[in-house]
Structure 1
Amino acid sequence: MDIAEVARRSGLPASTLRYYEEKGLIASSGRRGLRRVFAPGVVERLALVALGRAAGFSLDEIAAMFGPDGRLVIDRQLLAAKADDLDRTIRRLAALRDGLRHAAACPAQDHLACPRFRRILATAGRPTSRKRTRPPA
């Protein structure tokens, strides 16, 4: 299928497909005139790339999940570490959401006079530690 058909099926612009090809995430199988041609399996591969992006993986990390033969080679430890990162992000965002809801409904005239709001401020001011998602090389 040509690049226009891949773009239509994947919902990605042709420019993104060309960039993904440059990054080694997908590969065209040739050209029909001036247009790149791709195997039908490229749409599934693009879905895997989209899933990786949604999970927070970089394009380089996603590219590393494909072996030289194009088969999926997933580092399960990397997936577990990313899941742990997502858990931390979910907890942080839930606390932020709860703090915003409290601030919106807080009956105190002055938010800074509210003990709960002050605890939220103290928590928000603390630095968060970021664990690496990939073991050092």
Structure 2
Amino acid sequence: MRTLGIGELARQVGMRPSALRYYESVGLLPSAERAGGRRVYPAATVRRIALIKMAQRAGFTLAEIRGLLDTDADRGATRQWRALAESKLPELDRFIRQTQILRDAVADCLACGCMNFDKCQLLSAGGPGS
């Protein structure tokens, strides 16, 4: 089985070795084997970290991710993932709406063209026409 030293793994996944050690300490990564006193990980760890990063981008907490990764049985993991994903969707929808509002505000400022923050009507307490 191919293994990766912590430095090589860190480079491959775009993380610092200290972050990998942290992931190990909080149970996101299994304890690394030691070779000559150095941590070595199975090559499959790259895929596990990709899953962790994807889940983080989707807004899952490290505790939620750990719970998913700790589930041994495939059916249990599938059921748990489905429940967690279904509960996360409304949160993501709220985030998307809030981000769209911010995006629209920035676009409105660009369209205004005044770029004078002291006098811009868009930035007044009530917005334009108040």
TM beyond 0.5: yes
Q: Report what 1:97 is aligned to.
A: 103
How many aligned residue pairs are there? 116
RMSD: 2.6
Higher strand share: 2
Report the CA distance between 1:99 and its aligned residue.
Answer: 2.3
Report the CA distance between 1:77 and its aligned residue.
Answer: 2.2
Per-residue Cα deviation, 1:21-67 (whole angstroms, up to 9, x for no partner): 00101113420112111112111000000001111111111000013
Q: Report what 1:8 is aligned to.
A: 11
Q: Distance in 2 between matches of 1:107 and 1:30?
A: 59
* Structure 2 unmatched runs, 5+: none
Structure 1 residue runs of 4+, over 6 Å off? Answer: none
Q: Distance in 2 between matches of 1:110 and 1:14?
A: 47
What percentage of residue pairs aligned between the two structures are identical? 37
Q: Report what 2:22 is aligned to.
A: 19
Q: Distance in 1 between matches of 2:43 and 2:113?
A: 59
Counterparts in 2 of 1:5 and 1:70: CA distance versus 1, 3 Å: farther
Residue type of the partner of 1:106?
A: C
* Structure 1 unmatched runs, 5+: 119-137
